[in-house]
Amino acid sequence: MAGSQALAVTDGTFQSEVEQHQGLVLVDFWAEWCGPCRVIAPILDQIAVEYAGKLKIAKMDVDVNQQTAMRFNVRSIPSLLFFKGGKHVDTVVGAVPKAHLVGKITQHI
């Protein structure tokens, strides 16, 4: 996650950073040992730059922050959860192509 454009969130900061944010937030539930998580990380960084000001990207390490992962029933990683106005509105599971994520973002912006 070094050099990442995403904001690291924890169980303690999730409410203030994600659920109280008025715009669109994409939360990447990931873990250090997860290969597909490492594949999608640079794609999320590109999207963070391209959609700066329109989309907030956050990353949550599920090994350290299990409470929030359980709350949103995250069973597979990477799980990308979309929140708009603090409400969970969409989920993408797995390392998907950038075009798929851009389509989801466009749908919710």
Q: Which residues are catalytic?
A: 34, 37
**What is the C-alpha to C-alpha distance for residues 57 and 38, in angstroms, rounded to an integer?**
15
| Close Cβ partners of 77 (under 8 Å, ≥ 6 residues apart) | 29, 30, 31, 34, 36, 37, 62
For the chain, what percentages of helix, strand and coil (3-state, to nearest 5) are there? 35, 25, 40
